[in-house]
Structure 1
Amino acid sequence: MSVPTGTQYIITRATDQGEARATVTELAASLREFSIGDVELVESYAETAMPPFADGIVLVPWPNRVDGGQWTLNGEVQQLDITEGDRNNAIHGLLRNTGYSLIERTPQSVTLGATVFPQHGYPFHVHTTVRYQLVESGLRVTHTATNLSDAAAPYALGTHPFVKVGDTPIAELTLTMTAATRFESNERLIPTGEVAVAGTDFDLSGGRPVGELDLDTAFGGVEVVNGVAARLTAPDGRELRLTVDENFDFVQVFTPRNFPTLSGVGQAIAIEPMTGAPNAFNTGRGLLWLEPGAEFSASWGLEFSA
């Protein structure tokens, strides 16, 4: 049987809520499965399939989009390969079709590594790692990036988990997240401005049923309380929380209604932590410049309570 996402790394751990289990793929270090007890917490996809809608993959050295795949370095226009043809953008970085190598594995964790080599529009050499570790409350994910180049390299990080709370219909879940701003976008989903969200239809601070949402929207100034940036709550009180460290100032919320779930096409929700804003290579919003030899580390996670 062909497995297009390569080796499947399965990790497990006993918790007070039952066995925690995750499957991470060799391709793009995608989080293909994550559950605690009998509660599935991410949208899975078949082992014989590619990650639909970039499900669970790591996004480096930029998340989201670069307008037309172009940006300027030292006065010279750089042209990245166009990977979103219908919108003429470079999307989700340079490792989404790359196999990650195994660095370390324990029963409850796996660390994978992949290198961004100098290429069209990105003349830099950056080595990256990602560690998935099951903990008592859920899953913790830690990323590193090391600049192997002789010059400072632009870098931003994102991930793309589609989340759920067991068999609760996605439309019946409530999303709660407090953000200061959102990024208005054109028809190619390139930001055209950043505006306040308080008191608007994009204000999620009081909680909104996912079924009411039609978003592919980046939010800035996300409020983090006790490490929690967003909550997804079921009517029965079960809750999945997105946790982030201080490096993640932005969150993309994506609520497609044509997601190919394992039980059929329907609505899904991705809550995507990002260290940089969409089109950061052009705007500089949240973009990090890694000095030669410097290492960057950032962590996020998923916590579940029944």
Structure 2
Amino acid sequence: MSSTPTSGTQHALRAGDYEAVIASVGATLRTLTFEGRDLVVPFAADEVRPAYRGVTLAPWPNRVTDGHYRFDGADYQLALTEPARNHALHGLAAWLDFEAIDKGPSHVALTATIPAQTSYPWRILIRTTFTLTSEGLTQHVEATNEAGDAAPFGTGPHPYLVAGPGCVDEWVLELPASQVLAVTQDRLIPERLEEVDAVDATRFDFRVPRTIGAAEIDHAYTGLVRDAERRATVNLRDPHGRGVSMSWDASCPWVQVHTTDTGNPATHRIGLAVEPMTCAPDAFNDAVYDYDTGLIVIEPGGTTVASWRISAL
């Protein structure tokens, strides 16, 4: 019987009032606290990770519709890992066991290889580094194409942010995005880009901070307002003004936001998923959309990078 916890090798990090634990399976952010309070929804070390909570997503984030895509003249069929909606969800790295190649008290670097396979015939080396400082937890992801042909690629994280006690309904969200991706109600298939104040402002427009209330969201946003350093920032606060912030660089022009409407009393609206993404949902089918999906194509031997940071408010 293995002594390794179910979620993999545990890498504990600490810097000042911040503490984090990274689980090796999926290079997963399992816990993150500031002064003892949760900034993300945690789970136990000896537990199968609930859904995609805290995982590193690659070689695509979000969904590939029907698991089918066409790239460079060839058709590919991915396994349908979201059978209820008939989609391929959140990539191929989620259950890989990442190996630590560098570690210190406040950082850990992990690596894993996505093997070439019939549905995605490119070998991609993923290296990700988690670093804790007085500014919070930064994750940096590098992906290198070790195959002989160009490869489609996307990445992003999947944390469930926690502002404080209570649930999503009571928290104040600031989301500096002017456009939202309209999707079908049943299967969340992308349809078109809409202005947030034109389609349903009460549900989607959080450019001015306000309480989330009963809004149900599982949508991708773009048209992000960025600061002088080209960073976009989402702030989430409890009624007392404390909370959590997530920011990311220009490598992620999209962000998925999900109010965790599971219907299960144990998990329903207990955290707000904020998922910066290098590409839009279903970006592997880029050619069928009339907007820029942000699909990355990594040339043989090439590397692409992305990063994001979670901080206490």
Band of TM-score, shorter chain: over 0.9
Where in structure 2 are the equivalents of 1:145-156 lying within 5 Å? 145-156=143-154
2:222 alignment partner in structure 1: 220
Normalised TM-score (structure 2): 0.91
Corresponding position: 1:112 with 2:115: no
SS of the residue 1:104 aligns to: strand
Where in structure 2 are the equivalents of 1:31-110 lying within 5 Å? 31-110=29-108
Label 1:239 to 1:265 Cα distance change in 2 as closer, same or farther (>3 A). closer
- Out of 129, 133, 136, the position equivalent to 2:134 is 136
Deviations 1:166-189 (A, max 9, x none): 335432211111212111112211
- Out of 278, 283, 286, the position equivalent to 1:280 is 283
Corresponding position: 1:211 with 2:217: no
Q: Is the 8 A contact 2:71 2:284 kept in 1?
A: no
- Out of 236, 242, 250, the position equivalent to 2:240 is 236
Corresponding position: 1:295 with 2:303: yes
Q: Is the 8 A contact 2:161 2:272 kept in 1?
A: yes
1:258 counterpart letter in structure 2:
T
Distance in 2 between residues matched to 1:259 and 1:116, nearest whole Å: 33
Residue ranges of structure 1 left out of the alignment (5+ in a row): none
Distance in 2 between residues matched to 1:287 and 1:265, nearest whole Å: 32
Q: Is the 8 A contact 1:39 1:165 kept in 2?
A: no
Distance in 2 between residues matched to 1:141 and 1:259, nearest whole Å: 31
Normalised TM-score (structure 1): 0.93
SS of the residue 1:266 aligns to: coil
Q: Is the 8 A contact 1:229 1:242 kept in 2?
A: yes
Label 1:188 to 1:290 Cα distance change in 2 as closer, same or farther (>3 A). same
Is the deviation greater in 189-198 or in 133-142?
189-198
Deviations 1:147-168 (A, max 9, x none): 1111111111111000112335
Deviations 1:212-239 (A, max 9, x none): 3201111112222353421101222213
Once the two structures are TM-superposed, the CA of residue 2 in structure 1 deviates from its matched residue by: 6.8
Q: Is the 8 A contact 2:165 2:238 kept in 1?
A: no
- Out of 21, 26, 37, the position equivalent to 1:28 is 26
SS of the residue 1:171 aligns to: helix
Deviations 1:32-55 (A, max 9, x none): 100011221000012222222310
1:83 counterpart letter in structure 2:
T
User: After TM superposition, what 4+ stretches of structure 1 lie above 4 angstroms from structure 2?
Assistant: none
Higher strand share: 1
1:157 alignment partner in structure 2: 155
SS of the residue 1:180 aligns to: strand
Label 1:165 to 1:159 Cα distance change in 2 as closer, same or farther (>3 A). same
Q: What do you get for the CA RMSD once the two structures are aligned? A: 1.7
Q: Is the 8 A contact 1:148 1:293 kept in 2?
A: yes
2:96 counterpart letter in structure 1:
T
2:274 alignment partner in structure 1: 271
1:295 counterpart letter in structure 2:
T
Once the two structures are TM-superposed, the CA of residue 260 in structure 1 deviates from its matched residue by: 6.9
2:189 alignment partner in structure 1: 190
1:189 counterpart letter in structure 2:
L
Residue ranges of structure 2 left out of the alignment (5+ in a row): 288-292
2:290 alignment partner in structure 1: none
Q: Is the 8 A contact 2:31 2:40 kept in 1?
A: yes
Label 1:116 to 1:259 Cα distance change in 2 as closer, same or farther (>3 A). farther
